[in-house]
Amino acid sequence: MGIILNAKYRVEKDHKDIGVLIPLDDEELKPLMTKALRRYFNALRSNEKHIKNVENYLYGTMTNLFGIYWNKLAGAKYRAQHPEEFKNQEALSDWL
Segment of 13-17, 39-43, 72-76, 83-87 carrying the highest mean pLDDT: 39-43
Contact 43, 51 (CB under 8 A): yes
Tell me the DSSP string of 42-89. Answer: HHHHH-SS--S-HHHHHHHHHHHHHHHHHHHHHHHHHHHH-GGGGHHH
Tell me the pLDDT band of 4, cut-offs 50, 70 and 90.
very high
Tell me the pLDDT band of 20, cut-offs 50, 70 and 90.
confident
pLDDT value of residue 88: 67
- pLDDT tens, 34-68? 999 999 999 999 977 788 899 999 999 999 999 99
| 42/68 Cα distance (integer angstroms) | 20
Average pLDDT, the chain: 86
Whole-model pTM above 0.85? no
Range of the domain at 8: 2-95
Instruction: Specify the DSSP class assigned to residue 20.
Output: -
Number of domains in the chain: 1
| 15/37 Cα distance (integer angstroms) | 24
